[in-house]
Every structure is written in structure tokens, then in C-alpha cells.
Amino acid sequence: MPIPANLASPSSALPLKASQGAPGPSSAPTSNSRLPGWQRVFAPLRRLSRSSQFVIAASIILGLTMTFVGNLVSKTIERSSVQAAADAGALYMTTFLEPYVQELTTTGRLSVQTAQAIDHLMTSPTLNSHVISVKIWSPDGTVIYSTNKEVVNKSFSTAEIDLAFEGNTVTEWGTLNEAENSYERSLGIPLYEIYAPLREFGTGKIIAVGEFYELAEVLEQEIARVRQEVWIVVGTATVAMLLLLFAIVHRGERIIMQQQHALSRQMQEQTQLHAKNIGLQRKITTANQAFSRINELTLRRCGADLHDGPAQLLTLILVRLDELNTLQERNRNSAQPEGDALETIRSAAQDALREVREISRGLALPEINGISLRQELELAVQRHQQRTETKVDLTCRSLPENVPAPYKVCIYRFIQEALNNAYRHAGGKGQVVLASYDQGLLRIQVTDAGDGIDTDSLETTGTGRTRLGLAGMRYRVESLGGKFHIHSIPGTGTKVSAQFRLDDPGKPPSDTTGDLASTQE
């Protein structure tokens, strides 16, 4: 149907290629997109990165949006171009035709001379180069003039000319389906129709409608060029926006991934530190419990030694004093029994004093803060030799001069207890003390040439009770971050060793080769 150009709105569409309009509501997603089948289709997209998902989603959204915008702009420009051409053509034709139709106001028809004049006008190169055919319509739908004489004085539907009789310039793009267009349709070339009102001079009353057909080839080329330019601009803008948005999203995704990796590493480190702290806390708790148990055992042993030794001797002294008092009352003139009693008391007191000194010597530690590690080892070996009258071989290799006091106390007690065990269980045979220092690792080793003991019962007695000496040695060493090893095979002697990391006391000593590497727990 013809459309009045001055009533057209941007949302209206021309008959030309109307199927290329913007997507309608039918293209919107329906409830089928929520079906399991669609979920299976989109499932692979979930495995893509965020930037890839964004590119796909943005491409679809921007593609649909820009397609709609491109079609809208293209059709608006196309409609404007056609209307501009129609207005120009209508102005041009009315200028030529209106003088010839003025007689319609009086006669209601065109004379033969007027028709011939119009025919002659149509042969002008200025017109026939782009105007192919002309018709003049009366208000009742009768063709009163046409370059195709077969339709002159014939009546047709007024649907196409009614808007023009209302004063509108109407254009129709190349449908040519009406009966009066048989001649133009037979030409087989692209045409567009223009309907323009023809007015009476002076009054401006519309007395006829002029219809003329112009070649559409040039206009089609111009519209195609404009459409191409529009799509180039729209496509370039779409790609530019997509690239810009992708760059922003990709940068954000990279920052998020870096933060996630950093958080993951921190979480792993925190988990490892937490596990390590739990392990250290358990070791501290175990060590505290062990030290408490060892201290209790030490106190019990001291109590037993005092009860069985000095206490018994002091009891004997008191008994002998009572006997001496009784003898003095019975035999005031006899001195022999009194002398024997005094000798017994003196001997018992000396024994009690000696045992108290032995016990105190085992509890007290000689002053070692002002001496070097080598001198400390020599002192421990010397005192053991004096006390047991046995021989101990001491070998020192590259020992450090300055050692923290807690390590010196631990090392002294370790050597003291190990040599006491060697004297007690091996009779002091083959006693050797070896001390060495290499790359921050201090090694202390005490060996004997005794009969050895069973490793399954190293730290327990035959009744299942804890051996206080060995347990104390182990906990002393491990409380300072060291390693305690004992190796004994029946018939080959016993080897006890301790390792300390002095360059970093908080770092456990690593396994090393050498004299201490062969020791086993």
C-alpha cells in the first residue's frame, strides 16, 4: 500500500525487504531454555574462563543490539533517501504538469492538444532519462492521461491516490502489482512510483493527482552505499566496544585469579603452620608431662636414697647414742664399751656424710658458664674418672668456643648420665667420648665396650617401669630441638649420641653421615 511520506514515522517500514527488520518477540528466549536439554547445551560453557564466557555473552547481546540498531538506522536512512528523491521528483513533475491540467477545472477532462503536449514533453531528454511513465488521475479513479494509452479513460481503485488527494506526496517502491501498471511491469526494470497532488492556480485546490515512475537503479545504488557505510560504522563500533569490555573483564579476571592464587597459597601456608603448631604444641605438652614425670621420679629416687642411706645411718647413730647413755649409767667406771660406741657412732656419721655428699654431687652441677665446651667435656670426663677410677678416651674435633648455656647444661648431663650407665652396665670398659662440630651441627657420642643391652627394653626396667636415666637424657636433648639416638646389640656394646643444630636452635638437626649416622633409636 502507498504510504504518505510526511506521515511516516521512524518505526514504519517500507515494502522493500521488509523481512530484514529487527528481531521480533519470537526471537526472545522461551521457557524451553530452562529445560534439561538446554542445560546440557550450555554445560560446556561453564568450564570456560570468565573472560571467555563474557566474550560469548557480550557478542550475542551486542550482536543482537547492533543488528537492531543497524537495521533501524539503515531503514531510516533508506526511507529518508527515498522520500527526498520523491519530494524532489514530485516538485519537478508538478512544475511541468500543473499548467496542463488547469483546464480540468472547467471541462473535467484533458483535450487532445493537451495530451499531445504532454506526450511531446515526455520525449524531452531531461525527463525521459529518468522518468519512464506518467499518469494523471481524476478524483473518481479515472486515468485521464497516461503514456500507456491502453489505460486512458479507465477507472481503477482509488486506494493508491486517496492520500495524494489529501495533499500528501506518496511513494511506493517497485511493487507494480496493480492492474494499471501492466505496461511498467512489462519493462522488467526497477521503478518506484510517486504520487503528487496537482493544484489549481490561485486557489490551491487539488484537481488531479500525477503519478510518475522513475528509474530506481541509481537510488538503489545510493541506498546500498549508505547501508554499507552504516553497517561498517555499526560493526566497527561493536568490535571496539567488545574489545574494550573484554580488556576490562580480562584484566579484572587476571586480578581475581592472582588474588585467588595468593589466597590459596596463604591458606596452604596457614594450614601447614597450623598443623606444625599443633605438632609443636603436642610435643611441648608431651615434653612437659615427661619432665614432670622425670622430676617426680628424681624426687622419689632422692627420697629413697636419703631414706636408705643417711637416714638409716642417722638412725643407727641415735640408737648407739641411746646405748651409750645406758652404758654410762651402768658402768661409770668402764671406758671400753663407751669407746667402742663412740667409734661406731663416728663411723656411721662419716658414712652418712659421705652418702649425703654423693647424693648432692649428683644433683648439683659444677660451674660451667665461664668455660668453653671443650673444657666442659674435659671436666665431665675428669670427674667421672675420679669417681669411678676408670679410663675415658675423649676426642674433640673443631668445637665452637661459644655455646648457649642451655646446651652446655644439657651436654654435661648427657655425658654424665651416659658415662654412669657405661660404668654401671659395662664396668667402665671401652669408654669413649667423641665430640665434633661441622656446618652448624654439633655431635656428641658416648660408647662403651660392654655386653650391650636389648633395644626393645632400653628405656624400661624388667618390671615395665621407666628407666629414669635414659628417659631424662632423651627429653633433655629433644627439648632443645636435638635428636637422641641409642644403638645397642648384645655383645657389641652400646652407643648413645645426641645432635644439636647450633646455627639455628629452632631448626631440627638434619640426618648426617659419619660416626653418628649409624645410630638408631
Cα–Cα distance for residue pair 289/34, rounded to 1 Å: 64
392-409: pLDDT as tens digits: 999 999 999 888 888 888
pLDDT at 500 over 90: yes
CB 73 within 8 A of CB 230: yes
90-112: pLDDT as tens digits: 777 777 788 888 888 878 788 88
Q: Which residues contact 147 (CB under 8 A, 6 or more apart)?
A: 119, 122, 133, 134, 135, 183
pLDDT at 340 over 80: no
More confident: 85 or 21: 85
Q: Name the percent of the chain lying above pLDDT 90.
A: 13
Q: Which pTM does this prediction carry?
A: 0.41
pLDDT value of residue 518:
34
Q: What is the CATH number of domain 3-8+37-227?
A: 3.30.450.20
Residue type, 488: S
**Cell (9 digits) for 18:** 521488509
pLDDT value of residue 159:
76
E-state strands within 278-422: 392-397
Domain boundaries, the chain: 3-8+37-227, 309-364, 367-521
CB 223 within 8 A of CB 76: no
Q: How confident is the model at residue 138 (pLDDT cuts 50, 70, 90)?
A: confident
Any bridge partners for residue 173, and if so which? 192
Q: How confident is the model at residue 336 (pLDDT cuts 50, 70, 90)?
A: low
More confident: 461 or 371: 371
CB 451 within 8 A of CB 489: no
The alpha carbon of residue 487 and the mean position of all alpha carbons in its chain are separated, in whole angstroms, by 50
Cα–Cα distance for residue pair 279/271, rounded to 1 Å: 12
Cα–Cα distance for residue pair 259/363, rounded to 1 Å: 59
pLDDT value of residue 364:
60
pLDDT value of residue 413:
85
Residue with cell 655428699: 357
Nearest alpha carbon to residue 414 among 446, 454, 387, 450: 446
Cα–Cα distance for residue pair 406/84, rounded to 1 Å: 104
Q: How confident is the model at residue 515 (pLDDT cuts 50, 70, 90)?
A: very low
The superfamily in CATH containing domain 367-521 is Histidine kinase-like ATPase, C-terminal domain (3.30.565.10)
CB 202 within 8 A of CB 102: no
Rounded (5°) CA angle 161-164-165: 90
Nearest alpha carbon to residue 15 among 132, 175, 204: 175
pLDDT value of residue 37:
59
pLDDT value of residue 4:
42
CB 217 within 8 A of CB 130: no
Cα–Cα distance for residue pair 199/205, rounded to 1 Å: 5
Q: Which residues contact 22 (CB under 8 A, 6 or more apart)?
A: 67, 68, 71, 72
**For residue 221, with 0-12 CB atoms within 10 Å meaning exposed, 13-18 middle and 19 or more buried, which class applies?**
exposed
Q: How confident is the model at residue 217 (pLDDT cuts 50, 70, 90)?
A: confident
Any bridge partners for residue 194, and if so which? 171, 212
246-269: pLDDT as tens digits: 888 888 888 888 898 999 999 999
Q: How confident is the model at residue 238 (pLDDT cuts 50, 70, 90)?
A: confident
Residue with cell 628424681: 298
Among the listed ranges 161-165, 417-421, 491-495, 513-517, which one has the minimum average pLDDT value?
513-517
CB 380 within 8 A of CB 416: yes
Cα–Cα distance for residue pair 51/56, rounded to 1 Å: 9
147-202: pLDDT as tens digits: 888 888 888 887 778 888 888 877 776 667 776 776 777 777 778 788 888 888 88
More confident: 432 or 345: 432
pLDDT value of residue 444:
96
What is the pLDDT of the chain when averaged over all its residues? 76
Strand order across the beta sheet in which 441-447 lies: 392-397, 431-438, 441-447, 494-501, 483-488
Q: How confident is the model at residue 83 (pLDDT cuts 50, 70, 90)?
A: confident
Rounded (5°) CA angle 137-140-144: 35
Q: How confident is the model at residue 459 (pLDDT cuts 50, 70, 90)?
A: low
CB 447 within 8 A of CB 493: yes
Residue range 446-460: mean pLDDT, rounded: 73
